[in-house]
Each structure stands twice: as C-alpha cells, then as structure tokens.
Amino acid sequence: MSGPGAPQTPPTVVRPRGETVPVTPQQVPVAVVGVGALAPGATDPAAFWRTVTGGRDLITEVPPSRWRVEDHYDPDPAAPDKTYARRGAFLPEVDFDPMAYGVPPANLSTTDTSQLLALMVADQVLADAGGLSGVDRGRVGVVLGAAALELLPHMYGRAQRPVWLKALRESGMSEDEARAVCDRISAHYVPWRESSFPGLLGNVVAGRIANRFDLHGVNHTTDAACASSLAALSTAVGELALGRADLVISGGVDTGNGVGMFLCFSKTPALSPSGDCRPFSEAADGTMLGEAVIMYALKRLSDAERDGDPVYAVIRGVGTSSDGRGPAIYAPLPEGQARALRRAYEQAGYGPDTVELVEAHGTGTKAGDAAELTALREVFGTPSGTDGPWCAIGSVKSQIGHTKCAAGAAGLLKAVMALHHKVLPPTIKVERPSTAVTAPDSPFYVNTEARPWVRPDDHPRRASVSSFGFGGSNFHVTLEEYVPPAGTPGRTAPRHRTAPSELVLFSGASPEALEAPDTGGRPLAALARESHRAFSPADPLRLAVVATDTDDLREKYAQALALIRRRPGTAFSTPTGVRYASGAPAPGRIGFLFPGQGAQYVGMGADLAMLSPAAQAVWDRLGATGFDGHPLHRVVFPPPAFTEEEHAARRARLAATEWAQPALAVHALALLEVVRGLGLRPDCVAGHSFGELVALHCAGVLDAGALVGLARRRGELMRDAAATPGAMLAVAADRERVTAVLADGRFGDLWPANFNSPLQVVLSGTAEAVGRAERAFAAEGVGTRRLDTSAAFHSPLVAPAGDPLAAYLDTVPLTGPRIDVYGNADAAPYPSAPDEVRRRITSHLASPVLFQDQVEAMYAAGVRTFVEVGAGASLTGLVGQILGGREHAAVPLDRPGRSATVPLHTALGELAVRGVPLDLDHLWAPYAVPGTPAKEREPRMTVKISGANYGQLYPPPAGAAAPPPPEPAPAPPTGHAPALSYPAVSTPSYAPAPTHAPEPPAYEPTLGHTPEPAYAHASEPAYAHEPDRAYAHASEPAHAPESAPACDQVTEPGAVAGSGWYGAVESVQRQTAEAHAACQRMLTESHMAFLRMTENTLAAMLGAHGGVYSGVHGGEEHIGAVHHGSRVQGEGTHGAVGPHEAGGALDAPAPPVPLPLPRPSSPR
C-alpha cells in the first residue's frame, strides 16, 4: 500500500548541524483538483505540458506590438535609460469576450490585461475542477501572486504634462506650440476615466475573479516579487488548513514584459547579454523575462477524496523564510533558502532523500544559481549509494523565461504535470552543466531530455519547487503524486496528451466515401479519436494517415486520395506514414516476433512509457528491479550525457549481456502490454536468439517476473562465458556460399551461429578464427561486419554456461505453451512438457539460430501478418528478405531515433487497413477528451488580447508604422518676419501641421484606432482645466514669454501672411469645428435619452412582476438592482468594482469629438 494514506516509516530531516530526527507530517495534505494556464506558446495546461516535454524554446525577439526595439535597445549595459536585452517570452494572442466576463467593452483600454486574462484562466481552472455547482461560494477564496500592473505607469504618464510643458517652454517654443505638442503627447496615453482606478490596481486581479464568479471567501493578491505566486500558495494552503475555506484558487499573474520591467532588470543587471536563459549551465550569463497567468484549484485532500474530485498531485509541505539581515536587499542568501527547505520537509513529514525532481528558481544568473545550489546541497546531502546523483534539477525559465510574479506558479505547474504524467521533464540549453551541479558529491543532475519517471511502490513520486524574491523572501513547496487509496472514491485527473503524431483512419465503399477531414479548428487529436470510432475494417476501401498536425493531415490526405482515385484497387504505403488497402480484408494469421541481443539502444521504450500508462506500469514493476545495487531503468534511461565519452559509457553499459537481456525483456513486455490493451493477439510467436525467451512468456510458459530474472541470470552466465575470447561476424551471403567456404576447415574454431535470411549468415568462433574468415570473405568480394559482442554466442564456446543455466531453470515455474512457439533450433513448435521446455532453453545457448527456417514455417502455417515486438526493426527487414514478393506484411512497433508514437501509429495503421480488428478506444482511455467545446454562451464580441494592454496607443498594433523621421532644421526667416530667438537649449524637431484637419502619421492615435469612446484632442477645449487659459488666436499668445517675438508672421515662398489674415482663417475653422462638435453632442444626447426612456419603461414593466430587474450594461448583468433616478446602482463596490465600472451611468455627458487643432505657426 503506497498511497497518501498508507502507513510509512517516520522519515528523517537533516538539521543544520547534521543530526537527524524522526518527523511526522505537520501540514494538512492539499490536493490540486484543477489547473489553468496561459503561458508563452500555450493557452491551456495541456499545451503548456506539450511545450515543456517537447523542449520548445519560446524566447524570441520582442514583438513590435509590445515595445519598439529601436526606441529602447542599446547593447551597452551602461547606456542610460536603455535596455541591453531585446528578447523575451511573450503570451500568445487569445480571443477575449468582454461581455461574457462582465467587462464593458468601453472599459477594455482602461483595464489592465492582467485582470482580463486572469478572468479567462480562472474560468479554465474552475471548469477543470468541475465548476461551482453545489459548491458553497461563501467558502471559496482567491489568492494570487501579482504586483504593480503595466497600466499603472501608463496612466501616471499623463500626469507628467507639466514636465513636458516646462521643457518645451525652456526650448523656446511658443506657448501655443508647446501646448499643442503636449496635447499630441497626451494623445498617446489612454485618458483617465472612472474605470481607470480599479483597472490598474493589482489587487483587482483577484477581485474581478471573486466578483465575476460570486466568490465570498478570502480575496487578495500578494507581492513577494519573484516569489509572489508561492507566497500566495502558502496563504491558500493556510486557509484550507485552518478550515476557513473549502476551495481556493491560487497561482500567479504577470504580464509585465513592458520596457519598464526590462529596464529594471537591465540596471540590476540581471538579464543575459547573450539573449538566452540557461539555468545551471556553464554558459549561464543571466536571465530573460517572460510572462504567464497560471492558477490552481486547491482543496483539502480528504475533501477531494470524499467528493470524488480528480486529483493532479498533493501538496505535502510549504516552507517559508526570510533572509533577515543579508548582504544586500536583492542578493540571494543560501542560509535563508536552506531554512525554507528544511521547514518544507518538516511540514511534509519526509526527507529530501525521497525527492527525485527539483524545479528550482533557476534564473540563469551565475550568482543566483550558485547560491541556490549551495542551499540545496546543504539540505539534500550527498549520494549514499553507488548509482550517483538521484535528483533531477531544472527550471522552466529555460523555455519561457523568468515570469516574475508567476515564476513559482509556472514551476509548480511543471512539477504537478511531471508527477501526474510520471515524466521527468527537460531543462533546455544546457550543453555543459555548471561545476556546482556536476561535483562528485552532488545529489543533483540536470535533466535535459524528457524521461520516464520510474518509481517502485515503496513511496510515491515526489517533487519540490523553489521560488525566491527580492527582499529576502524564500519559499519551497514539496509535492507528491496522487495514488488513490484502495476502497475510496479518490481518482486521478485525466492525463494531457503530448503525442507528437496521431493516427487518422478513413474507410468507405468508394473514393468519394473517404471523406476529407473537417478540421473545424479542432486539434488533430480530436480528429484522430473521431476517425477511430467511425472506421470499419470491413469497408472495401481503407486508408490510414499518420500526421503531426492538421496541415500535415490535409496534405497527406490529398496526395493519398489522388492516388486512390487513379487506382482504387491497388494497395500502397509511403515512408511518411500513409497506408491504403482495398477489397475484402485478408490479414491471415498473426505472428509476433521478438528480437534478441544487439537490438538494444539507450532510451528504448522511453517515449512509449511516457505515452502509455500501461507501459509505464511495466517499467515501474520490473524496471525498478535492482541488480548489483543499480536499478535496471537507470541503465536504460540514464541521466543525460554531455560528452562523447559519457555517451559511449552509457552505450557500453547497456550492451553488456547481463544488462542488455533484462532490458530487452522489459521493453518487449511494455510493448506487449500496450498491444494487448488494443485487442491485438498473436496466433503464434517466435523469437531471435534471446527473443525466444520473450516468445515463451507471450505463450504463457513463464510470467513476467520470471522472464526478467531468467534474462538477468542468462546474461550473467553468458558474460562469464566471455572469459574465453570470442567474436561474431555477419556475412552478406546465402547459406550455401558460406557453407562452401567453411567446408575446408582451415579456419579453426568457427561455426555458423545465425541463418538469418537468404542474404545474411552470422558466424561465431574464436577471435583468431573470425579474423581469418573475415579476410577470406573479403578476398572473394563478400561483405562482412564484426558484431559488437563479448562472446561467441550460439557456438560450443558458450556451452559451459548450459549446466548452471539448467540449475537455475529448475527454480523457475514453467508451464506448456498455450500457442505455438517456433524454436530457433529446429524451426518447429516447442513441446508442451515443461521439462522438455527447460531442456530446449538450456541447449538453445549453444545451438545455431535458424531464423530463416522459422519464418518459412510460420508462413506455411498461414501467418501473413508479422508484428515485431521489441527494440528496433531488424527482424522486419529480415522477414522482407525471406519472403520477398510473396503476400505478407511485416510491421515493427519500434524504431530507434524516432518518437515511439510514429512507429506505433504507423504499425496500427498498417494493421487497421489490413482488416485486423483493434480496440483503438484504449489509446484514449487515460486522456482528457480532446477538443471538447467549452460550455460557454456564444460570444457577442471578441477582441484579441495578449500581455500588452488593449488599445495601447504606442507602439502601434503589430508595429505597423514607425515614427516619422526627424525634420531638417527650419530655414532662417526671410521677408518682413523678424528672426526668432530661443534660449541655448536642445530643441526637438516636429513637423508643421496643416490648418485643415490633417491626416496624422500612421503611428499616432486616431478615432478609428481607438476601441473606446474617443477622448479630446488638441482642438477641443483641452485647457478647460486651467481657468486662466482662454482660447488664444495665433496673434495673441496669452502665455508667451515677454521676450518672445510674435509668432503670427510666417514666411511662405514668395509671400508673407499677416496676423489678421491668419486669425480670420483660424476663427472660421474653429467655429466650424465647434459647430460640428455641438451637432455630435446633440445626436449623442438624443440617443442617450432614448436609452433612458427604454430602460425606465422596461423597469416599470418588470417591476409589476416582482420588482426584479436584470439590466445589461456594457456586457455585465445586474440581477436585483434598484433604480435611483436615471442610474442603475449595483450591489456596492465589492472587489473594487463598482456600479460605474460595471455598467456606467446612462446620463453621463457625451464624449467630445476629436478634431486636430491647427498650430499658430502652420502655413496655409
């Protein structure tokens, strides 16, 4: 019994002075029952997990929609007010329906995007947790990590007008010109409105969620800098532990990738000069910024099990600490971090020696990573066994950058997904780990590739996450996988599918019936699943396509259909994974083939174990078996290698007979478990060399545990037999030619070991004899190849291993085979008597392998479909050589160097089109149903939003336009115009504006670009806030400095305009503009009056039916609101969202119409 409720020996925790004391769990276990995510490259947790396991790098150039590199970048870190970084990781655009989330569309530009995206992700996480139906909303809280929002400095920017005006006046610019320039600058900032204040507050990130979903528990954000999200998690766990809440949404929200944050990190300095984040790498030189919105739904584990909630993982301990008086407020302190680690394990009740994955803070800065490793090594100690480091360490920042307030949440989601899917995830960009990681006494290794997380059942898989923030805030969380206790309603959450390919099937009576895939925007997995259910192996035409995405599917389908239409009766297959057959299905009998030693390779079966829980379970049960103190899985799935010497050592270790044979056995057993679940059963079986033992297991002769034990013992005996030097040689010739060469006996101790095909015979013998044969065949022009073996297998040289093997077999329970097993020695089925089976296994060691004869015998018995079950595809190739053009199919389930899903899907496609019945639903059983539409109302309006605030006015959307180039210095005045005199200061260049309403430069805001009610430009009463400012004509510069000359005298080529002429023109233009504005206001006020009348009529009508009114204002519904005059008042200002924010007053004044103000010095 190994679940969370299982009794366990009290663990020990390492104390600062090295003593150990037994501890018991102190924290209430907390279950993660829902997840939601929006991160670079991902719009949901499944996509996030695909990003992680796929090793995707989402750090890119700064998109022009965020900030212009040309404006702010300088490679010199010392350049003032510049950043030396131009890369980061950014959120993708998503469709946001403001009305669905109760946000008036007019308020979008005055609401920080963090608040909007948080609503979407909260919706995700609540849906994943099963929704709020039947939940007491009074005991549901929201605690999120968030800091100052991007909109805050933007809104404060408008308050800098006096600074701009002062600088322009000091530059010698006239008052009207200076104010006009200030107006143009202000036009690049969203104006203050009633909704601005709540829209820029960080705490309203949580408040909007509580408001929208009507949650009445705790509601706040917390700011602990880069540790904010784990600080929020600590509070959330406390709320649950104290019984103040039953469900808490927690996580982190950070969309702060504006240039201001880049400047902050540049001037520390902490950003990577090379533009990449490489945690725990020798090449690490700094971090890169990212952004993310990630949340969890948390419940007490006991409640989750009682309610039957799907559980992703269990939080066992949260450790917190402060650095106290450290060397610097922003410098990491290992002692403080170690304190948080110890406290986490004291809370959890187990020691760090059982933790096999640490998702570190890992920013990629030299000092930060070194300090963190110092703390981790102090607490984790040193490896006690002979198998080296036991704990993988990494950081998701290598893929999505440092997401600041959401950094801990991103790391936690990676750890939760790793535990849930039983996968050790990669950290990328580490070509050589730092020396602090690779030190001989280090318990850690950097995991650079996704690997199966094999774990025996002595305790659940365990992972830990760290997050540290400026100011000395330290947080460490330790989690474990959820194993439902027997006899409880507890259940694990569905897995997220990460397969890099899918199998899509088509069937019908004619080419026209093979309907084209209707993607409809759905993911490939959804199309594949539907096609499996619609496919019929009995249909006359059958097509299978293995595709990597929907575009790949469309292309391959179109090519295949073109071939089918030309020759519908001709079967074909392509190397790209397309299979087609027609007519009545005729798969014939099915035979399984199992490969022998030599087929093994490092990492074999890894992708399959990560894809299939059935395969993973086999490795957990048998791959964790230890031999000589080393678990088998660490030989097959070793920690990553970083040098060619390390790679060679891993290959050599696996090639050793005592490791290769049990490894091949477990890999084949995992594949067998997968195909059995699919309903694929053999009619007979055979193996090549060692593979014959696996064939005997498949036929029911011995169980899986006995097979692995026998494989190990047989390998040890064959290793010992290698004390007599021997070698093996593959000869590219047929049996007759090889036999003729060997007939004269001049080679010495040399025997045929394998008759593999008409084109290959393998010889075994002493090293000297093999060398002589090699030279002899070369002289006759026959190709040869030495095999990488340590002994002369299947020859009299290994016969001494027979007696000890027979003694071992006497201890192994055997039964007669349930189906035919074709033997290597005589190509005939095995006998049924167990003792005779033992004798055949023993003699098999030194007997030649008659594989060609075996395949011929199986074919004669009616086998037409051969399935290779094991490592590689060598036997598939041999079957093709043996049977040639005779009707048959040989399909391998595995190919080295390719993701396991591709050969598996290709094989299943081949079997399906041949008419072999398969239960393909089994492929989908562990996974969430792909492509299920969200149960949402149909969107009434959607807008594209990302990390950038909606409606920002600079830079322009997608960076479509650049600022105009600087104007040349103006020519000296001529004619009667007096020369202008300016103080000796720098004067900015600007383009003169025409007196007619001008076309502003493309980068400037216009009414058409602004998605909200327009705000005043320079021609409206922009100075109404200054009582002493009246509209001044060009000839009356009311605020011009006394020493400044008149600015109404403007020179044009060949003419000089007087002030009276210009003033008259401007007066006419101003009167026209004001009349137009008055007309617009009148129309707007008339429309608003009509809306008020309609609203009051509806209210009166509905009031007669109970006084309940549901008004929709700006997208948010108010139920039970009370009327006061012409306003609709909401339920107060809970969560800082008041009635005006929710809908606004219907009697609000109409916004003024923007019209450009002609500048006094503009020429006509």
Candidate from 119-123, 588-592, 929-933 with smallest mean pLDDT? 929-933
Phi, psi dihedral angles at 120 (to 5 degrees)? -65, -45
Provide the token pair at 908: 């299943």
Give residue for tokens 């320039």: 181
HSE-CB of 809 using CA atoms within 13 angstroms:
24
Q: Is 1025 designated active site? A: no
SS (H, E, C) 1123-1143: EECCEEECCCCHHHCCHHHHC
Of 402, 421, 633, 905, the catalytic one is: 402
Q: Distance between CA 29 and CA 25 in Å, rounded?
A: 9
Give residue for tokens 């036009």: 187
What pLDDT shows up at residue 1052? 38
Which tens digits make up the pLDDT trace of 263-310?
A: 999 998 999 999 999 999 999 999 999 999 999 999 999 999 999 999
Which tens digits make up the pLDDT trace of 730-784?
A: 999 999 999 888 887 788 899 999 999 999 999 999 999 999 999 999 988 999 9
Q: Is 361 designated active site? A: yes
3-state secondary structure of 433: strand
Candidate from 505-519, 540-554, 658-672, 1085-1099 with smallest mean pLDDT? 1085-1099
Of 226, 277, 405, 684, the catalytic one is: 226
pLDDT band at 329 (very low <50, low <70, confident <90, very high): confident
- Report yes or no on whether pTM surpasses 0.75: yes
What pLDDT shows up at residue 848? 96
What pLDDT shows up at residue 975? 46
Give residue for tokens 């065949």: 777
- When pLDDT is averaged across residues 191-220 and rounded to a whole number, the result is 91
Q: Which CATH superfamily is domain 31-149+201-492 in?
A: Thiolase/Chalcone synthase (3.40.47.10)
What pLDDT shows up at residue 408? 98
Q: Is the pLDDT of residue 1005 over 50?
A: no
What pLDDT shows up at residue 331? 82
Which tens digits make up the pLDDT trace of 821-831?
A: 999 999 999 99
* CA nearest neighbour of 787 among 729, 700, 719: 729
Q: How many CB atoms lie within 10 A of CB 274?
A: 14
Q: Is 698 designated active site? A: no
Q: Is the pLDDT of residue 100 over 70?
A: yes
Residue 1139 or 884, more confident:
884
What pLDDT shows up at residue 1051? 37
What pLDDT shows up at residue 1149? 39
Tell me which amino acid residue 1122 is.
V
Q: Is the pLDDT of residue 482 over 90?
A: yes
Provide the token pair at 1110: 């549901």
Sign of the torsion formed by the C-alpha atoms of 186, 190, 195 and 197: negative
CA angle, 769 then 773 then 778, to 5°: 150
Q: Distance between CA 479 and CA 2 in Å, rounded?
A: 15
What pLDDT shows up at residue 1075? 56
What pLDDT shows up at residue 9? 40
What pLDDT shows up at residue 983? 39
* CA nearest neighbour of 536 among 841, 1067, 36, 917: 917
Sign of the torsion formed by the C-alpha atoms of 1002, 1003, 1006 and 1012: positive
Of 361, 421, 496, 844, the catalytic one is: 361
Provide the token pair at 133: 């139906």
Residue 684, beta-bridge partner list: 591, 820
CA angle, 77 then 81 then 86, to 5°: 55
CB distance 304 to 311 below 8 Å: yes
User: How much is the mean pLDDT over the chain?
Assistant: 83
What pLDDT shows up at residue 985? 37
Residue 301 or 996, more confident:
301
Q: Distance between CA 332 and CA 323 in Å, rounded?
A: 8
Phi, psi dihedral angles at 677 (to 5 degrees)? -65, -30
Q: Distance between CA 48 and CA 91 in Å, rounded?
A: 12
What pLDDT shows up at residue 1038? 38
Q: Distance between CA 544 and CA 535 in Å, rounded?
A: 10
60, containing H or E segment? strand 60-61
3-state secondary structure of 75: coil
Residue 626, beta-bridge partner list: 631
* 454 conformational bin, left if phi > 0, alpha if psi -120 to 50, beta if neither: beta
Give CA 1091 to chain center in angstroms.
48
What pLDDT shows up at residue 1068? 45
Q: How many CB atoms lie within 10 A of CB 569?
A: 9
Residue 505 class from Cβ within 10 Å (0-12 exposed, 13-18 middle, 19+ buried)?
buried
- When pLDDT is averaged across residues 890-906 and rounded to a whole number, the result is 90
Provide the token pair at 188: 């690049």
What pLDDT shows up at residue 957? 62
What pLDDT shows up at residue 1061? 38
Q: Is the pLDDT of residue 728 over 50?
A: yes
What pLDDT shows up at residue 1071? 56
3-state secondary structure of 802: helix
Residue 704 class from Cβ within 10 Å (0-12 exposed, 13-18 middle, 19+ buried)?
middle
Give residue for tokens 């997380």: 453
Q: Distance between CA 721 and CA 108 in Å, rounded?
A: 78
- When pLDDT is averaged across residues 472-488 and rounded to a whole number, the result is 94
Which tens digits make up the pLDDT trace of 696-725?
A: 999 999 999 999 999 999 999 998 887 778
Q: Is the pLDDT of residue 1036 over 60?
A: no
- When pLDDT is averaged across residues 1107-1120 and rounded to a whole number, the result is 37
What pLDDT shows up at residue 1085? 53
- When pLDDT is averaged across residues 185-211 and rounded to a whole number, the result is 88
What pLDDT shows up at residue 746? 83
- When pLDDT is averaged across residues 796-813 and rounded to a whole number, the result is 94
Give CA 1046 to chain center in angstroms.
65
pLDDT band at 319 (very low <50, low <70, confident <90, very high): very high
What pLDDT shows up at residue 965? 67
CB distance 923 to 899 below 8 Å: no
Which tens digits make up the pLDDT trace of 751-764?
A: 999 999 999 999 99
Q: How many CB atoms lie within 10 A of CB 539?
A: 18
The CA-atom distances, in angstroms, between 722 and each of 425, 682, 729 are 39, 35, 16
Highest mean pLDDT among 12-16, 194-198, 877-881, 1116-1120: 877-881
The CATH number of domain 589-726+790-892, selected from 3.40.50.1820, 3.40.366.10, 3.30.70.260, 3.40.50.1980: 3.40.366.10
CB distance 559 to 578 below 8 Å: yes
Q: Is the pLDDT of residue 1112 over 50?
A: no
What pLDDT shows up at residue 724? 75
pLDDT band at 1044 (very low <50, low <70, confident <90, very high): very low
Q: 1158 Cβ partners below 8 Å, 6+ apart?
A: 993, 994, 995, 1019, 1066, 1069
Q: Is the pLDDT of residue 87 over 90?
A: yes
What pLDDT shows up at residue 194? 84
Strand ranges for 668-810 from DSSP E: 684-687, 727-731, 750-757, 760-765, 784-786
First to last CA, the chain: 90
Which tens digits make up the pLDDT trace of 208-255?
A: 999 999 999 999 999 999 999 999 999 999 999 999 999 999 999 999
Q: How many CB atoms lie within 10 A of CB 160?
A: 13
Which tens digits make up the pLDDT trace of 1060-1101?
A: 434 444 554 555 556 555 555 555 555 554 555 455 545 544
Residue 206 class from Cβ within 10 Å (0-12 exposed, 13-18 middle, 19+ buried)?
buried
3-state secondary structure of 1086: helix
Query: Where along the chain do its domains lie?
Result: 31-149+201-492, 156-188+964-1002+1016-1164, 589-726+790-892
Q: Distance between CA 602 and CA 1150 in Å, rounded?
A: 72
Q: 894 Cβ partners below 8 Å, 6+ apart?
A: 604, 605, 608, 667, 671, 868, 870, 871, 872, 873, 900, 903, 904
CB distance 677 to 919 below 8 Å: yes
Strands 1122-1124 and 444-446: unpaired
CB distance 1031 to 983 below 8 Å: no
Q: Distance between CA 1124 and CA 984 in Å, rounded?
A: 60
- When pLDDT is averaged across residues 1130-1149 and rounded to a whole number, the result is 37
What pLDDT shows up at residue 790? 74
Q: Is the pLDDT of residue 1110 over 90?
A: no
Residue 503, beta-bridge partner list: 546
Phi, psi dihedral angles at 413 (to 5 degrees)? -65, -40
Above pLDDT 90, what percent of the chain?
67
Q: Distance between CA 1020 and CA 1023 in Å, rounded?
A: 8
Q: Which residues of 999-1038 are buried (b: 16+ CB within 10 A; e: fewer)?
A: eeeebbbbeeebebebbbbbbbebbeeeeeeeebbbbebe
Residue 1069 class from Cβ within 10 Å (0-12 exposed, 13-18 middle, 19+ buried)?
middle
Residue 189 class from Cβ within 10 Å (0-12 exposed, 13-18 middle, 19+ buried)?
buried
* CA nearest neighbour of 144 among 123, 126, 124, 118: 118
CB distance 584 to 534 below 8 Å: no
Q: Is the pLDDT of residue 984 over 60?
A: no
What pLDDT shows up at residue 986? 38
- When pLDDT is averaged across residues 582-597 and rounded to a whole number, the result is 96
